[in-house]
Structure 1
Amino acid sequence: MKNRKYATDPNNRDDGAFSRRNFMARSGFLGAGLIVAPALLSACSDQPQSTSSRSDEVASTGGSGMKTRKLGELEVSEMGAGAMSISANYGPPADINQGIRVLREAHEGGVSFFDTAEVYGPHTSEELVGRALEPFRDEVRIATKFGFDSEASGLNSRPDHIRKVVEGSLKRLRTDRIDLYYQHRVDPDVPIEDVAGAVKELIAEGKVLHFGLSEPSARTIRRAHVVQPVTAVQTEYSLMERDPEKNGVLAICEELGIGFVPWGPVGMGYLTGKISARSRFDPKTDIRSTFDRFSPENLAANMPVVDLLRRISENENSTPSQVALAWLLAQKPWIVPIPGTRNLKHLNENLGATKVQLSPGDLGDIETAFAEIEVRGGRMNEMQMEMVDQTV
C-alpha cells in the first residue's frame, strides 16, 4: 500500500449537513446497532464453499502488515472500520475534516473495509465515507445498508424502495458500485426472497457486488441464500454478547461459506475499560441510557468481564479493547470486526489488536473464566429487539 497523506479541502465543507439532521431526534425506532456514542468511539462505533477451504488467511496488504480475510468471496482487511460513529446519532457529529482524516488514516493503516448505512445521520455517514475514500476508491471495499424509510420512520425493504434508495447511496458514496449491500433489518412485511431477488437484480446491473444481511435469524439467512448467495452477515457479537453462538447464526455462516461481521465488538464501549459503575448516559443523546445492560447496577455487576480482559491484556502488553478484538479474530478466520472511532489514538489502538496473538492457553483461560460470569442485562431495549429477526 502506498504511503501517502490526503489533505481535506477547507473550502468544501459539509459541516452544516452533519449538524442540522439528527435522525434519532426525529425517529425513535432505530436499533442499537445503528448508533455509537461519540465519547466512546475507541471501541465502537455489515459463494458457497467448503469450510476447510476457509481456514487460511491470505497475504498481508502491502507494507501495512494488515492481513486480509474472506467474507464469502469478498476479500477485505482482517479489521474493518465502522464509520457510523463519526457522524454520530449520539451527540454532535465530529467535524467532517476530522472524520475524513480518521478514515484516511485507517486506510493508511491497512484497512480496506469500511462500513456505513443510509440511515446513519441519515445520509451524512455515507457522504463522509464517499468524500474520504474517493481518492483511493479502487483500493477499498465499501459496505452500506438499506431497509429503513426515513420519511415514514419505519422499516421498508420493498423491492421498489430498494431500487430507489440504492441510487442515493451510490451518489453519496461517490461511486458506481457498492461492494457489500446489507439489508439493515429484516422487514417482516416483505418476504426475504423478494429482498434477495431485488439485490440480485442490482448485482446483475453492476450497481451492487455482494449481498449481506444485518441482524437476521439462521432461517432467514438460509432462505435468502437460495435466491442470492449471502456474502456476509452482520450482528452484534463480542466476548460479552454471545447470542450468535447460541442462535445458529454462526453455525449457518460456517455451513454456507458466509462471512461474519460483528458490530459492537467491544460491547458498545464497555469492554474498553473506560466505563465504570459511576458512568451515566444522557437520555437526550445516548440510547444506551435505555439499555438495561448500561444501568448503574448492571455496569457494576458486569465489571468482572472487564477485569478478565485487563488480566489478559497485562500479560499481552496490550489493552482490554485490543484483547476483546483479538478474541473475536481468533474465533473464526472469516470474522471481520468493524470497530469505529473519530480519534486517531483510538484508531491506532484498534488496529494494534491485529498484532495481539492470543495463544490456545489464553483462549482457554478466557473461556473458563467467562463461564463463571453471568452477564446482566439485555443487549438492547425492548423496542430495538423487536426489530431483530428472531424467527426459528
Structure 2
Amino acid sequence: MAEACGVRRMKLGSQGLEVSAQGLGCMGLSAFYGAPTPETNAVALLRHAIKAGVTFLDTSDIYGPETNELLLGKALKDGLREKVELATKFGIIASEDGKFGFRADPEYVRSACEASLRRLGVTSIDLYYQHRIDTTVPIEVTMGELKKLVEEGKIKYIGLSEASASTIRRAHAVHPITAVQIEWSLWSRDVEEDIIPTCRELGIGIVAYSPLGRGFLAAGPKLAENLEDDDYRKGLPRFQEENLNHNKILYEKVQAMATKKGCTPAQLALAWVHHQGDDVCPIPGTSKIENLNQNIGALSVKLTPEEMAELEAIARPDFVKGERYDSNMATYKDSETPLLSSWKAA
C-alpha cells in the first residue's frame, strides 16, 4: 500500500480558487450510504482530514437533508474555518414520497444560500454549486442571482454539478464558472466525450465525485453484499446482480494491477483520476480515518503512460453495465433549460 504523503495544493479553475489536490466528499457521513456516522467520529474524521492537508470539503443542503452542513459547522469551530475551502450546493429538493425535485428560481437560490450559511455557521461559502439543473428556469436567470450573491460576498466562486456542455457555456457567459462537479472514475467515463473538453476550453476546474465508483473500486462486489437496507446504492442499476456479475471483472483487473503495483485498488483508481490533469480534483468520501489516509496515499502513486493506457483499456467507457443513477435522479444528459428569450416571452 502506498504511504500517505503531503497533500499538494492546486488551482481549481481560472478565477483564483486554490484547494487541496484531493478533497473530501462528506455526503456519506450523514446520508444515502446507510446509517449516519456518529457525530463524534465524524467530527474527528473531518478534523483529521484538515490536519492531514485535505482542506477542500464538499457538502450539500440535501445531505441529511441539512444535517451534513450542520455537522461541518460543528467541525469547523475553534478557528478551523480559515483553514478550509468549503463547498456546498443547492437545487435538489426531497419530497415525502422519496422522489427528488429540482429548483433554481432566484428566490429559492437566495433562500437556500442563506440557510446554508446559517447551518455552516459561516459568513461566506467558498464554492457554491447548483447541484442539479432546474429545467424549468433558464440557466441565465439562476446565474444572475448567483452573481448577485458573489457581489454581496455571500459566496466567492460559482460551480455547477451534472450540467450539460451547452448549459455550462450559457452559465459561464453570465458569470465565470470556477468548477464543474461530475462523476468521473474508471467506471464512469462518459464525461470525457463532451463535458471535460468544454471545461478545459473555458478554463473551468473539474471536481470528480465518486472517483472510487461509490466504493466499488475500493471493495469490489463484496461491497454490494454488505450494504445496509437503507443504503441508496442498493437500488442503483450498476449494483444489481445482473450488472454486478459483469462489472466485477473490472474490479478484478484493477485489483490485479494494483497488487503488481504495490498499492491498493482504491489507490490505483484514485491515482488514475489524479493523472487526468492538474485541473482535476477528486473528492473521495469515507467515514474511516484509515481509508482517508489510504486515499491520501494515492497522491504518491505514479503511473506511466503505459500503465494509464492499460487501465483505460481495462475500463473502456462502454465496458460497465448499468446506468449511473435510477430514473429518479437527473444527470447532465437531461439538464437543458429553456432559452432566456422564450422564457421571457412566456
TM-score by length of 1: 0.79
Correspondence for 2:243: 298
3-state DSSP of counterpart to 2:328: helix
Residue in structure 1 matching 2:230, options 285, 290, 312: 285
Q: Which runs of 5+ in 2 are unaligned?
A: 338-346
3-state DSSP of counterpart to 2:137: coil
3-state DSSP of counterpart to 2:207: strand
**Structure 2 Cα separation of the partners of residues 285 and 354 of structure 1:** 33
Residue in structure 1 matching 2:76, options 122, 126, 133: 133
Correspondence for 1:86: 29
Contact between 2:220 and 2:251, CA under 8 Å: does it hold in 1? Answer: no
Correspondence for 1:384: 329
Deviation digits for residues 99-155 of structure 1, max 9, x if unmatched? Answer: 000011011111110000011111110011111123311111000001134578621
Contact between 1:88 and 1:94, CA under 8 Å: does it hold in 2? Answer: no
Alpha carbons of structure 1 residues 68 and 278: separation in structure 2 relative to 1, 3 Å: closer
Contact between 1:185 and 1:389, CA under 8 Å: does it hold in 2? Answer: no
Alpha carbons of structure 1 residues 258 and 376: separation in structure 2 relative to 1, 3 Å: same
Give the counterpart letter for 1:255 in structure 2.
E
Correspondence for 2:197: 251
Give the counterpart letter for 2:307 in structure 1.
D
Offset at residue 237 of structure 1 (A): 0.9
Correspondence for 1:222: 169
For this pair of structures, how many residues does the alignment match? 328
Q: Which runs of 5+ in 1 are unaligned?
A: 1-62
Map 1:1-392 → 2, pairs under 5 A: 65-72=6-13, 73-134=16-77, 135-150=79-94, 154-246=101-193, 248-276=194-222, 279=225, 281-282=227-228, 284-371=229-316, 374-385=319-330, 389-391=334-336
Supply the RMSD in Å over aligned alpha carbons. 2.1
Contact between 1:118 and 1:145, CA under 8 Å: does it hold in 2? Answer: yes
Offset at residue 64 of structure 1 (A): 6.4
* % same residue: 41
Give the counterpart letter for 1:130 in structure 2.
G
Offset at residue 372 of structure 1 (A): 9.9
**Structure 2 Cα separation of the partners of residues 151 and 380 of structure 1:** 18
3-state DSSP of counterpart to 1:382: coil
Contact between 1:232 and 1:261, CA under 8 Å: does it hold in 2? Answer: yes
**Structure 2 Cα separation of the partners of residues 172 and 64 of structure 1:** 33
Deviation digits for residues 24-66 of structure 1, max 9, x if unmatched? Answer: xxxxxxxxxxxxxxxxxxxxxxxxxxxxxxxxxxxxxxx9621
Farther-moved stretch of structure 1 (371-380 vs 188-197): 371-380
Offset at residue 387 of structure 1 (A): 7.7
Deviation digits for residues 317-374 of structure 1, max 9, x if unmatched? Answer: 1100111000000012111011111111111111111111111121122123334972
Offset at residue 385 of structure 1 (A): 3.9
Alpha carbons of structure 1 residues 277 and 229: separation in structure 2 relative to 1, 3 Å: closer
Offset at residue 299 of structure 1 (A): 1.2
Offset at residue 191 of structure 1 (A): 0.8
3-state DSSP of counterpart to 2:319: coil
Give the counterpart letter for 2:219 in structure 1.
G
